[in-house]
Structure 1
Amino acid sequence: MKEPRRGAKQLAELANGIVDPVLARRAGISTALLGSWNEIVGDSFADCTRPEKIAWPRLRDIGEDGGHRPGVLTIACEGGRALFLSHAQGELIGRINSFFGYPAVVQIRIVQKPVLPLSNRRKLKPLDAVKSRRLEAMVEDIESDKLKDAIRRLGRGVLGAKR
């Protein structure tokens, strides 16, 4: 792999720098939580849940000591699986807090709604040969196979979009 140019930043750094403040302000969550969600909840809930927001206590509710108070995480869950998720709340809170490295969440609020699994997302049409070669040239120096596949999917979506 080529050495990055001085002053060059990785795409993930730039994207997280833009998206994280918006997510933090609107939903109280970060792209790190979203990106690690499947590992945090495990195979039994990865396909039927997604974090929606964390409601942090207001400053006036914190009190005089000014210390950190954990928030309430809202999770969207497919209807039939919500009961099983409610029984696993204690373990899930522990996993989430382990991910953050401090007691970030004290309670989980479950909202029953459809959660679109990856398999049901719209299928992308194959790119023509010229666009396909162009995309492969863009990702050839990326070492991580997972990142390379994610950039390919993004590229197919962008290059294959009708204009």
Structure 2
Amino acid sequence: MNNKAEKQRRGIVQISEVANALIDPVLAKRAGINTMLLGSWDEIAGSQFAECTRPERIAWPRRAAEMAGEGGGYQPGVLTIACEGARALFLSHQQGEIIQRINGFFGFPAINQVRIVQKPVSAGPPRRAKPRPLTGEAARHLDDLVVGIEGEALKAALMRLGTAVIGRRR
């Protein structure tokens, strides 16, 4: 039995799978996008636009054939992108490349046009200040806790975690 089937049998499900299953239908209905597009936006937009843009919605065209109940072909949509200030001008010059990247992400020509709206784009959760290095007894205690860890990357990660946790209690 493969690992995924074994986890499902035991009832183990990743929280991201549960969250995406709850959020995706709402996003699809209201904005025409999904969490995969939002999560991959930094890669799609590139370093030049990742911090100052955000996909808002995809407007899919309604066709007269659908309303009449006839089958019809697929038509690509219009992606609305929120962009901060003067960066919108630079983004407008890169529309063709952005459309290619988005269509590459979807694997088919999902978007044929980009609509840019100028508005503030939240940069995400505020970054916390780095914890101050531990000194004295707290530093010795943390060093003792990670003494048996062999992997340097794991040891460094545990040191950062321990510094943040112990430093917060002081």
TM-score (ref. length: structure 1):
0.68
Sequence identity, in percent? 65
What is the count of residue pairs matched by the alignment? 126
* Superposition misfits of 4+ residues, deviation over 4 angstroms: 61-65
Does residue 64 of structure 2 align to residue 60 of structure 1?
A: yes
Rg (Cα) greater in structure = 2
Alignment counterpart, residue 30 of structure 2, candidates 12, 18, 26: 26
Higher relative contact order (CA 8 A, sep 6+): 1
| 1:5-154 → structure 2 map (5 Å cutoff) | 6-60=10-64, 66-118=72-124, 121=126, 123=128
- Name the CA shift for 1:65/1:30 in 2 (closer, same or farther; >3 Å): same
Gaps of 5+ in 1: 127-144, 146-151, 153-163
- Name the CA shift for 1:85/1:16 in 2 (closer, same or farther; >3 Å): same
Instruction: Report the aligned-residue RMSD.
Output: 2.8
CA deviation vs aligned residue, 1:2-46 (integer Å, no higher than 9, x gap): x84623211111001000000000000000000000000110000
Contact 1:62 1:69 in 2 (8 A): no
Find the aligned partners of 1:109 and 1:59 in 2 and give their Cα distance: 20
Find the aligned partners of 1:17 and 1:28 in 2 and give their Cα distance: 15
Contact 1:51 1:74 in 2 (8 A): yes
**Deviation at 1:59?**
3.7
Find the aligned partners of 1:79 and 1:104 in 2 and give their Cα distance: 27
